[in-house]
Structure 1
Amino acid sequence: MNGAVSQHGSSRPRVAVVTGGSGGIGGAVARRLAADGTAVVVHYAGSAAKAEAVVKSVTVAGGTAVALPGDVADPTEMTGLFDAVEERFGGVDVVVNTAGIMLLAPLAEMELEAFDRMHRVNVRGTFVVSRLAARRLRPGGALINFSTSVTRLQQPGYGGYAATKGAVEAMTLILARELRGRDVTVNAVAPGPTATPLFVEGKSDELIARIAAAAPLERLGTPEDIAETVSFLAGPAGRWINGQVLFSNGGIA
């Protein structure tokens, strides 16, 4: 893969940083981008073993991947991560922000500490990484942030979480306009219910079946479904998509 010609005619491989790359969606994104010939940096915050498992799955398939740790909300740590990526690979072409947490409760009952935790990772973390991406992405690059279809579904219990993702959408759409002339696209992906361990945890089979039936396609999304959307936005076919939120949800919203 290292000798592959990039989509922009260069002999150098494209390089992607995937935050939250040890998670269900993040891991699928890392594997999909690697299959496209991209060298992938699998970022993780707490699960080195899961990140290394993603790296192994990429390398076994013939791709290039490394795992690097960092707190997405800490500008010093994330600057260090970007420095390490540039030193190892020469630059960054794609940044995908899958890192995020979801804590659910009705607004009247949600603890402020829970809201602050989500805000720190989902909003501040996206801001810190997006700012670095805006400064460092090479021409032809792509920044892909993550929102949620709950911003349209307005489901009770999701108010605090959806509020953080509304902030992510606002930052994403404005940053796309601020990067005029840079040849860098900025978009957000908004998944619907997706069959990840995080989604399944704590839900009964009956509830999962009911959620799956809500979409016209009558199934849950898979991490691979979401990864295909990211691959499109990161690749040559998605270059004319900029400043958009793509709802990858099977028509549920």
Structure 2
Amino acid sequence: MSNKLYSLGILLISLAALLSCKPKYEKPEVSKGEIDPTRFVMIGGAHSSGYMNDALYYDGQQNSLAALISNQISLVGGNLINQPFVNSTSVGIGLTGLAQLKLGYKTDCKGATSLSPVRVSATGDGYIFSDNLYSSSTKFGNYGIPGLKLMDVATANYGQSNSFFARMASSTATSVLNDVTATNATFFTSFLGVEDVLDFAKSGGTITNLPSVNNFENAYTNVIQQLTANGAKGAIATIPDVTEMPYFTTIPWNGLTLDAA
């Protein structure tokens, strides 16, 4: 009997010890380092805007690259950025005028039905472009604009050729770079250049408007000089390896075996 009581006592003591052991979690220290996080702005193309599933729509903007960075900067005193949101119930609209994609069932040309990307609506939401959202009192912090090329960033009247910028531009005559520098950002991120080469790569190199190395360098240098003119610091990205993007890797170039005939 005493042995049983002894064993039970050991068990209870062990359980009490286990239950009393709480993991120690030390909150990581955050530091702003050498940056001034007061006013953050990001400039870039579709990848920065929150363009997802082949369209610009609210949920995508909520998770834009600019928003994710802004959330982290807010931990060291930065203000959350203002974004040119579309309506939360909108089906969105892409560069081709179509609505966002979702995963659904689709019947192919052979009558087989399977999961596939399908449009959430027959057409995109053109109403997105009907209003100008600019406000001088609450300037935007996300200048990620679908279709924006580095070579067009300083082009005046750019809103006339890109409706995604027109809906947030300070005037019909302005350029993207002019509006970005007008924010007087103290910290910036720049992710330009992808749109300049992506169409070229998707066409198999048949499009001839690929910028030269010198023109690309000069254009990017101009952007950085203007963004740092007032002493702002920033992080810069240019072009990732586009051949590693899902567009080029999901279906291999030689994935179809052809008959000898």
**What TM-score range do you get, normalising by the shorter chain?**
0.3 to 0.5
Structure number with higher strand proportion: 1
**What is the TM-score with the length of structure 1 in the denominator?**
0.39
Bigger Rg, structure 1 or 2: 2
Structure number with higher helix proportion: 1
